[in-house]
Amino acid sequence: AQKVTQAQTEISVVEKEDVTLDCVYETRDTTYYLFWYKQPPSGELVFLIRRNSFDEQNEISGRYSWNFQKSTSSFNFTITASQVVDSAVYFCALSGRNSGNTPLVFGKGTRLSVIA
């Protein structure tokens, strides 16, 4: 079975603070993909990043960075110098690949509120 846990239900920060969203996953697949999506109030899920299980390199994209550690089964997401526009619900998701392409399994999400 596959599972994604986002222990932080809600986080509130003041603008310009750094914030890290945690994601822990469980899977028996040796090949899998991890994703982060952002859901603004409009409802659609906006793709942020995909990482495969063989690539543990950290990634930075502007103010966003991701830390993937297979040893701890974690794929954490950091926003540097947060802005009000970052306020949204963020979802971590997993898709196994050992038995073909399996659907996305989502965590419960973390609601981030950035206060001006």
Partner 1 sequence: KAGVTQTPRYLIKTRGQQVTLSCSPISGHRSVSWYQQTPGQGLQFLFEYFSETQRNKGNFPGRFSGRQFSNSRSEMNVSTLELGDSALYLCASSTRTGGNNYGYTFGSGTRLTVV
Nearer to partner 1, 71 or 99 (CB): 99
Cα–Cα distance between 45 and 43 in angstroms, integer?
Answer: 7
Binding site for partner 1 (CB under 8 A): 33, 35, 37, 42-47, 50, 91, 93, 95, 97, 100-109
Question: Reduced to 3 states, what is the DSSP secondary structure of residue 116?
Answer: coil
Cα–Cα distance between 37 and 51 in angstroms, integer?
Answer: 12
Minimum CB distance to partner 1, residue 42 (Å): 6
Nearer to partner 1, 82 or 88 (CB): 88
Nearer to partner 1, 47 or 60 (CB): 47
Nearer to partner 1, 13 or 108 (CB): 108
Which positions ≥6 away from 79 have C-beta within 8 Å? 18, 19, 20, 21, 63, 64, 86, 112
What distances in angstroms separate CA 7 from CA 32, 55, 101, one per listed residue?
21, 24, 26
Minimum CB distance to partner 1, residue 35 (Å): 5
Minimum CB distance to partner 1, residue 79 (Å): 19
Minimum CB distance to partner 1, residue 116 (Å): 26
Judge contact between 65 and 82, C-beta under 8 A. no
